[in-house]
A and B are shown apart, each in its own frame.
Chain A
Amino acid sequence: MTRNENDVIISLMSRVVSPFIMLFALYVIFHGHYSPGGGFQGGTMLAAAVILVRLAVGNDLAQKQFPRAWATPLGSVGVLIYWGTGFTALVFGGNFLDYKFLPLAMEAAWRRHFGILSIEVGVGLAVMGILTAIYDDLLEGDPRG
């Protein structure tokens, strides 16, 4: 994280690879209905893409990709999406987290389909934010940081 900051090959390759890792992570999240994957796995890959750039180009320069101050709020937003989906179902007359009652204009099974998608996105954002935040918090104690 400090020694190779000026290495052109490592810096360039990580900057090229990082968006593709993010793209594949989005695929893992949104294709979780049909293949192995889901919010936890995709969120971990999103965090891996962010941490890769932090490791390769140094923590200060990597703030331009994903600022340190966003990480913990992003995790909270993910948890809020999950709880918000649950409470939306509650407000519209169902039980907590009963996606059948979400206000979407389609049949009940498809409402549950998209309720699952909504909470997978929430889980993905939360895992990405928290893993990045833990990395940044650990780096804060590093005198070379």
Chain B
Amino acid sequence: MRGRVLSLAALAGFAGLLIYASFGLPNRGDASAALNGPLSPAGTPNAATHYIRNPERDAKTPNMVTVILADYRGYDTMGEETVILTAGLICFLILRRTRSRP
């Protein structure tokens, strides 16, 4: 009982900490936030700004999500697809009955 009260108190404290921390985040789409500008605080170009400005020029595609998914982040999508294939093959290996058993 006492352990349960303790763990509930710890959970509530942790939730309060996270909610308090979330007030420090910038608003969604806030143009003045450092994350959304063309340059990062270190002075280097931000990747997100490049991805938003250039899909039409680079790939003649209005849907920037498609260009990010398949072109700029092509390696990531390749990994996802390979993960799907691996999951299917593992289902095959686990669930199919083998012929050798009666």
| A contacts, CB < 8 Å to B | 32-36, 38, 72, 75-76, 78-79, 82-83, 86, 97, 99, 109-110, 112-113, 115-116, 119-120, 122-123, 126-127, 129-130, 133-134, 137-138, 140-141
Tell me the smallest distance from the CB of A136 to a CB of chain B, in Å.
9
A33–B63 contact, CB under 8 A? Answer: yes
B82–A79 contact, CB under 8 A? Answer: yes
B87–A119 contact, CB under 8 A? Answer: no
B87 to chain A: which residues have CB within 8 Å? 130, 134
From A113, A122, A129, A140, B61 is in contact (CB under 8 Å) with A113
Tell me the smallest distance from the CB of A104 to a CB of chain B, in Å.
13
B77–A119 contact, CB under 8 A? Answer: yes
Tell me the smallest distance from the CB of B46 to a CB of chain A, in Å.
22
From A38, A119, A123, A140, B96 is in contact (CB under 8 Å) with A140
Interface residues on B, range: 20 to 34
Tell me the smallest distance from the CB of A4 to a CB of chain B, in Å.
24
From B58, B69, B82, B97, A140 is in contact (CB under 8 Å) with B97
A97–B63 contact, CB under 8 A? Answer: no
Which 6 pairs, one residue from A and one from B, show the smallest C-beta to C-beta distance?
A130-B88, A137-B95, A97-B74, A112-B59, A116-B70, A33-B61
A129 to chain B: which residues have CB within 8 Å? 88
Q: With A72-B89, A79-B82, A130-B85 in contact, is A115–B71 under 8 Å at CB?
A: yes
B61 to chain A: which residues have CB within 8 Å? 33-34, 113, 116
A36–B63 contact, CB under 8 A? Answer: yes
A32–B74 contact, CB under 8 A? Answer: no
Question: In the complex, A123 Cα to B78 Cα: how many Å?
Answer: 9
